[in-house]
Amino acid sequence: MDTTTNNGRFNRPKAFKILFAILIGIFLLGLLYWLIFSRNSESTDDAYVSGSQIQVVSQIEGAIATVNVSETQSVEEGQTLFRIDPTEVMIASEKADIDLRNAEADYQKRKALQGDASVSKEELEHSQLALLKAMANARQAYINLLRVDVQSPAKATIAKRYAQVGQRVAPGTQLAMMVAGDQIWVDANFKEDQLKNIRIGQSVKLESDIYGGKMEFHGKVVGFAPGTGSTLALLPPQNATGNWVKVVQRLPVRIALDSNELSKYPLNIGLSMNVKVDTSDRDGSSLQAMDKGPISDTTIYQKQFDKAERHIQSLLTNSKKP
């Protein structure tokens, strides 16, 4: 009996030593893991896919005659989405063309008689101004005629379609909302104590639940929001109260994605993402410089103007402007 007790007391310090050694080993392994993997990275799962949302609106008044698209459909730049009944704008364009021909004939007649006393310099100038005004009216009327075909300003996917056949629309009426397929990014909300080592240009690895772990997206940090979500709200919070409690804030960090990966594995707006930023390279800035050139553009409006200009020149007897 005494021997068992003595043996138990003898082994107890040894057991404590083993337990202490195990705890030290776990601590050292955790420290080693942090030094290798976690010290130079920041992670968050509070991140969501965002994108450029394009509103398609009517630029003329009329009734919707044709609907060519539906929701979830992909469209190309310049593709006709809707067609507005052209009757009203066609009549207005024809009237403007007639006024232009009359104004040009009057101007050419007065110009031919410029040397005679019957036509003064003031009358010639007035007829010239009338011709220029008629040209502007005819150009605008023809552009309105071209705008009966509501075209897509960019390559995108139809997210919402509001217009229906027979609906009467006015300039500015929203017909659809699209998401540009080549303008997708991720807004990752990092805690304020995670931002000290994050810089613009750092590489990022991302995962989405929609693809599971089989697809790892790659991107880079391109900018920081100028404020937290609460301070940019319509009614920002007021903390000048006696019962104030500090709450750790989160700042949105914008991450650009690889376009080649997006073309193969598209992401939808609103999807959640797991984000891990490699902070080992800290030479970058925390402020984003303005990009050179336009961020996005479209050619459909310039093409309409060019067509209208060719139409005007075809109406004039003298192809040169007065």
Decide if 18 is inside a domain: no
- Count the Cβ atoms, other than its own, within 10 Å of residue 78: 15
Residue 165: which CATH number? 2.40.50.100
In 212-227, which positions are buried (b, 16+ CB within 10 angstroms) versus exposed (e)? Answer: eeeeebebbbbbbeee
* pLDDT tens digits, 191-208: 988 888 899 989 999 999
Decide if 63 is inside a domain: yes
Half-sphere exposure of 201 (CA within 13 A, CB side): 10
Compute φ and ψ for 103, nearest 5 degrees: -65, -40
Q: How far apart are CA 80 and CA 151, in angstroms?
A: 4
Decide if 80 is inside a domain: yes
DSSP state of 165: T
The predicted pLDDT at position 322 comes to: 55
Decide if 129 is inside a domain: yes
Please state the pTM of the whole predicted model: 0.75
The predicted pLDDT at position 211 comes to: 87
Distance set, CA 261 to CA 18, 212, 216, 217, 220 (Å): 51, 15, 9, 7, 13
Decide if 209 is inside a domain: no
75 Cβ partners below 8 Å, 6+ apart?
69, 81, 152, 155, 156, 157, 158, 178
Q: How far apart are CA 253 and CA 198, in angstroms?
A: 9
Token couple for 161: 């379609």
The predicted pLDDT at position 41 comes to: 84
* pLDDT tens digits, 123-167: 888 888 999 999 999 999 999 999 999 999 999 999 999 999 999
Number of structural domains the chain divides into: 1
- pLDDT tens string, the chain, 322 residues long: the values are 444 445 545 566 777 777 777 888 887 777 666 666 556 788 999 999 999 999 999 999 999 999 999 999 999 999 999 999 999 999 999 999 999 999 999 888 888 877 666 777 888 888 889 999 999 999 999 999 999 999 999 999 999 999 999 999 999 999 999 998 888 999 999 998 888 889 998 999 999 988 877 789 999 999 888 888 777 776 777 766 667 777 888 899 999 999 899 888 889 999 999 999 988 887 877 766 656 667 788 899 999 999 999 999 998 875 455 5
Residues, the chain: 322
Domain that holds residue 63: 58-178+298-315
